[in-house]
Amino acid sequence: MIWFKARLYLTSMVAIILLACLFYLLHDDKSQSGQRRSEILLQLQVLDNALDLEILLISSMQQQNYDEIVRLTQQLKQQETDPEIASLFRELPSELAGKLKQYRHTLDQRIQLTERIKTLAAVVRNGLNYMPMLLNRIEESDDAGLPRAEQIVNLLYQYHIFRSDLDAREIRDQLNTLTDNGSDGIADLIFHIQTNLTAQTQLTQLLAEYKQIPNSTAFNQLYSSYLSYRNKVTQQTEYFNSVLIGLTTALILLLTFLYLRLIRSHQQTEQARLRLKDGVDNIKEAFALFDADNRLILSNRNFSSFYPWITSLLKPGTHKEIIQKAIDEKCRYQQESATNRRVVQHIENGNYYLCSNTPTNEGGEVWVRVDITETRLREQELRKLSRALEQSPAAVVITDINGLIEYINPKAEQVSGYSLEEVLGKSPAIFSSGDISPVNYQDMWQQMLAGKAWQGTFLNRRKSGKLYWEAATISAVRDPGGEITHFVAVKEDITERRSTEEQLRMNAAVFETTNEGIIITSPDARIISVNPAFTEITGYRAEEVIGKTPQIFQSGKQSDSFYQEMWQTLENNGSWSGEVWNKRRDGSVYPQWLSIAAVRNSDGQLEQYVAVFSDMTQRKDDEEKIRQQANFDALTSLPNRIMLKRELARIQQLSDQTDSSCALLFIDLDRFKAVNDTLGHSVGDEMLQQVSIRLASVIRDTDLLTRFGGDEFVIVLQSIAEADDASQTAQRVIEVLSPPFQLAGRTLYIGASVGISCYPNDANNGDSMLRNADMAMYLAKEKGRNQYQFFNAEMREHVKNRTEMEQALRLALERNEFELYYQPVCNLETHKVVSVEALIRWHRPGNGLTGPGEFIPLAEETGLIQPIGLWVLQRGCEQLMQWQEQGLDNLCMAVNVSSNQRQLGFDARMAEKIIKRTGADPEKLVFEITESMFLDSSDAAVTWLKEFKALGAKLAIDDFGTGYSSLSYLKQFPVDKLKIDRAFVRDLPDNKEDASLVSAIIAMSQSLDLELIAEGVETLEQLHYLNQLNCTNIQGFLLSKPVTAERLPEVIRQIESSVLSLNPADYEI
């Protein structure tokens, strides 16, 4: 409405302003240009008149110069050409324009004549000016014609004054009479008078023409026409003005009228609206109406009370979206139900409104909101109760008055195993276990029908047949009239509770009877309960300690930080256990093994601490014994090898600190083995004890005597001044052991060899000290018994060599110094070389070709065996491929794998990589492993081997017979071949022992279906013997030494051609 009003005002104002402007412009413009035009016309007239004046002056010879007339003519021309003036006159009616043009034309004519007049006037003037001078000349020349001349000149002046044609004719006549008598003057006079006369005549004519030009008439006509035109225009303008004013007035009146009408209709509308609003305000529902533009038209009081936070928005004209958005800020929407499309708003304050948005005919929308909060709450209440029933931990059974089941809740379903459908309409007897329930049903019914609640316990049977205990409360439900309509049984499965009670009873028995002391405290560590074992161990009775804290047991042996740590652990982990020294009631201190556990309830709340402890006094004693055994030799009570190593480290450290030296004496008893072997271990043991006593007598207190093992003793001398101190001790050792020992009724002599190494001169750590002293001892032994020997430069050299070799070995791979040699294995049945064994050689610079025996142990020790092993496999596979290309396609290759390689990570996966890379056929590969691999018969080892088998490769046991392999081991491992160690072959067939061993191995391999290869076959006899025993695969010098790859094909050819003669089929032992 306001907007409409504003529009009305605006429109009227604009209209009025427009009209006023129009009025003003029309009036002003017309009058201004009219005025200017008048001015110009008058100006033209002024110039025209001025021109007349100038012409008058010129023609009367009074004007001295033409500047003024030039000015006038130029102004007149300018007026004609001035574009401003031209535009002013352009709009005039054609009649008026014609008149203007006509007037202008007359002006042009006059200007043209003016120019001629100017020219002629000059000539005339000059002629008149010259006449007196000419007469003078004539007079001076005494011409007789002078009087006549004077007469004619006078006539000329007369003509000039009166300009009568009569005078002109007279002058001409006279001139004719004035004969040219040869006088210059007369001739000149005649010429000039004639010229002058002609000029004056022309001038007179021009002036007449000039006067005849109807410029005044033209102007007057123009001006009067213009005036009448102007009057007409002015009249017209005024007429228009009047009309305009009339129109304006009419418009204003009309607007006023409209405005009044509008106000009235607005009032009516407002009244109608108020009525409507009043009606709408008083309905119970919230109501809002929007027009087709989604603008709010009307909302009732309840709408704002339903949504109090949007009251400020509820003004007519607010957009629906804005209101919707504002409402949405504080409410959530719910679909009333899946089938019902109606939407329910849930307001933050808890109210529920049912929403209905209905389109109106106009295209707008009506919103109606019904407050359904109360209904909703009631529904929720009911739902809550039913949910409580549904989710109740108690089983609920509802029956009708006849005791037929109407409802059981899910818990009841769960407990009984029956579903609601199964029991609906049936008697609760369906749950019954039979007649074993300790319930008097008659009593029960009596009590229930009397309206009292009955409580009791049933022994029921689940659907599954299992029995269970149930505590039940049954009561009657009455309608408002007091009539019983239903019975409700609330039951609880107490089976578990019953068993828990049993459990508790059992626990109590344990608590009472266990040998371990138990203390239970409250969270603040006050003792709540103790068991009889507690009393037995500590001597305290329960009533003496209850309410106190376990601090009363503290012996003071543990520091405060010990208890802090204990509590910390207890807090973090929930339990703590450890050794604690506590005090008994009688004051004695004893060690106990204490376990404390924090007991928390299901909420994690600390409820109590349980401390369980046992008396450790006995255990402590045992432990001391074990420690003794670990560090000391049981036989001699001397520190053992473990202790020695530890002490050595300590002593070495001490030497470093005090910058002193120490020495290690490695003592090995001579001939002790003989004592042991001949007189038995007990005598040996007794001897060792005596030796240890004698050795102890020759050392200082600060020195360390240990039994290193067997008949080896080690003495460590701390802080020696010079090497001589060590040699003196060594000498004393030898001397003290020289006297005979009286044992088992015999006099026995032994001796000792002593090796000495010093720190830091000979070694830089305990291990090398031991190693060096050991080495020195061997040397002493070699020199003869009862000697001592210092570790010396030669030995150092040996060590050094070893170090150098290690370095060379590391470089050997890089420098490609290794080469593989191959030794063929020939099958005696097929007479073919079936495989070769790859054997490594080292072209060590400066040392020539080095066999594996010299460097493989070192490689094993240093871990270099791994890269070397991989290289061997790689090279072997490559070679296999080369041979294959050369036509040796049935040849297998055996590669050695040491147990160290396995420990260093070598496995089937690594092998597979190499095989794949080289393209070798894995079935042509045999991995030779040593028996030592079988020492570890773990699953891991078996798996490791099986993976090689899975590649397709074969496995062979190398050096078989030297180790500990037993039949049972072999069964476990997935091996294909056995290689009989050369040691057994060497003495065949003469050595009976070896012969029987070999035949046993052969028999065993046959029974296990293992292929056999005899290594180290050097003689024909050996070959024949083995062949006799069905060991058909032979390897050895007899056939060929290991050879280079290049030579191998040739060697194979030789073997295969000669083997026939080596192995006559009819050969017999």
Partner 1 sequence: MQAFKQYSRTHKPHQHLICCAVLLLLLLCPPTDAMDLSSEPISPIQADNQLNPDKVSLGRILFHDPRLSSDSSISCASCHNLSKGGADTSAVSQGVGGALGSANTPTVYNSSLNFVQFWNGRAADLNQQVNGPVHNPVEMNSNWPLVVRRLNQDPAIKQRFESLYPDGINGANIRNAITQFERSLSTLNAPFDRWLKGDESALSAEQKHGYRLFKSYGCISCHQGTNVGGNMYAPFGAVKDISEYFNTRSTPLSDTDLGRYTATNDAADRYLFKVPSLRMASVTAPYFHDGAVKELKTAIEIMGRFQLGREIPAEHISAISSFINSLKGEHPELQQ
Give 75 or 595: the residue with its C-beta nearer to partner 1: 75
Q: Which two tokens stand for residue 316?
A: 């007519």
Our finding on whether 66 is near partner 1 (CB under 8 A) is yes
Cα–Cα distances (Å) from 555 to 569, 581, 582, 610, in that order, read 21, 6, 5, 20
Q: Which two tokens stand for residue 478?
A: 């009455």
Site stretch for partner 1 (CB under 8 A), options 67-75, 271-279, 480-488, 849-857: 67-75
Find the binder of partner 1 among 99, 104, 110, 192 (CB under 8 A): 192
Our finding on whether 126 is near partner 1 (CB under 8 A) is yes
Find the binder of partner 1 among 33, 43, 75, 220 (CB under 8 A): 220
Give 65 or 968: the residue with its C-beta nearer to partner 1: 65
Our finding on whether 140 is near partner 1 (CB under 8 A) is no
Residue reference for tokens 């049912």: 354
Give 204 or 345: the residue with its C-beta nearer to partner 1: 204
Strand, helix or coil at 749?
coil
Find the binder of partner 1 among 99, 118, 707, 875 (CB under 8 A): 118
Return d(Cα 23, Cα 723) in angstroms, integer. Answer: 142
Give 202 or 529: the residue with its C-beta nearer to partner 1: 202
Our finding on whether 122 is near partner 1 (CB under 8 A) is yes
Our finding on whether 484 is near partner 1 (CB under 8 A) is no
Site stretch for partner 1 (CB under 8 A), options 14-22, 215-223, 327-335, 513-521: 215-223
Per-residue contact string for residues 160-189; x = within reach of partner 1 by CB under 8 A? ----------------------------x-
Q: How near is the Cβ of 317 to partner 1 at its closest, in Å?
A: 52
Site stretch for partner 1 (CB under 8 A), options 45-53, 699-707, 849-857, 919-927: 45-53
Give 67 or 939: the residue with its C-beta nearer to partner 1: 67
Find the binder of partner 1 among 32, 129, 340, 455 (CB under 8 A): 129
Our finding on whether 191 is near partner 1 (CB under 8 A) is yes
Give 48 or 931: the residue with its C-beta nearer to partner 1: 48
Return d(Cα 161, Cα 617) in angstroms, integer. Answer: 181
Task: Please return the burial class of 156, using the count of CB atoms within 10 Å of its CB with bins 0-12, 13-18 and 19+.
Answer: buried
Our finding on whether 50 is near partner 1 (CB under 8 A) is yes
Cα-Cα end-to-end distance for the chain: 139
DSSP code at position 756: E
Find the binder of partner 1 among 36, 77, 342, 646 (CB under 8 A): 77
Return d(Cα 248, Cα 230) in angstroms, integer. Answer: 26
Return d(Cα 930, Cα 948) in angstroms, integer. Answer: 15
Find the binder of partner 1 among 115, 238, 854, 1050 (CB under 8 A): 115
Query: What DSSP element (H or E) covers 108?
Result: helix 94-140
- Count interface residues toward partner 1 (CB under 8 A): 37
Of 453, 518, 441, 440, residue with least CA distance to 487 = 453
Find the binder of partner 1 among 74, 164, 212, 334 (CB under 8 A): 74
Cα–Cα distances (Å) from 174 to 157, 324, 462, 936, 990, in that order, read 14, 126, 181, 180, 202
DSSP code at position 740: P
Of 422, 426, 402, residue with least CA distance to 413 = 422
Give 134 or 398: the residue with its C-beta nearer to partner 1: 134
Give 219 or 1025: the residue with its C-beta nearer to partner 1: 219
Return d(Cα 127, Cα 199) in angstroms, integer. Answer: 9
Q: How near is the Cβ of 102 to partner 1 at its closest, in Å?
A: 15
Residue pair 896/958 in contact (Cβ under 8 Å)? The answer is yes
Site stretch for partner 1 (CB under 8 A), options 110-118, 723-731, 858-866, 950-958: 110-118
Task: Please return the burial class of 460, using the count of CB atoms within 10 Å of its CB with bins 0-12, 13-18 and 19+.
Answer: buried
Sequence-distant (6+) residues with CB within 8 A of 1034 are: 825, 826, 827, 828, 1013, 1014, 1017, 1023, 1026, 1027
Find the binder of partner 1 among 133, 166, 274, 649 (CB under 8 A): 133
Our finding on whether 48 is near partner 1 (CB under 8 A) is yes
Give 53 or 589: the residue with its C-beta nearer to partner 1: 53
Q: Which two tokens stand for residue 525?
A: 């560590």
Our finding on whether 53 is near partner 1 (CB under 8 A) is yes
Strands (DSSP E) contained in 892-1010 are 892-897, 925-930, 954-960, 977-980
Q: Mind giving me the DSSP string for 501-558?
A: HHHHHHHHHHHHH-SSEEEEE-TT--EEEE-HHHHHHH---HHHHTTS-GGGGB-S-S
Per-residue contact string for residues 757-796; x = within reach of partner 1 by CB under 8 A? ----------------------------------------
Site stretch for partner 1 (CB under 8 A), options 113-121, 424-432, 576-584, 762-770: 113-121
Q: How near is the Cβ of 175 to partner 1 at its closest, in Å?
A: 15
Return d(Cα 397, Cα 488) in angstroms, integer. Answer: 6
Q: Which two tokens stand for residue 984?
A: 């057994």
Of 147, 145, 171, residue with least CA distance to 158 = 171
Our finding on whether 54 is near partner 1 (CB under 8 A) is no
Our finding on whether 116 is near partner 1 (CB under 8 A) is yes
Find the binder of partner 1 among 130, 240, 445, 944 (CB under 8 A): 130
Our finding on whether 216 is near partner 1 (CB under 8 A) is yes
Find the binder of partner 1 among 38, 45, 357, 884 (CB under 8 A): 45
Our finding on whether 732 is near partner 1 (CB under 8 A) is no
Q: How near is the Cβ of 75 to partner 1 at its closest, in Å?
A: 12
Return d(Cα 334, Cα 352) in angstroms, integer. Answer: 10
Q: How near is the Cβ of 170 to partner 1 at its closest, in Å?
A: 22
Which parts of this chain interact with partner 1 (CB under 8 A)?
A: 45-46, 48-50, 52-53, 64-67, 69-70, 73-74, 77, 115-116, 118-119, 121-123, 125-127, 129-130, 133, 188, 191-192, 195, 215-216, 219-220
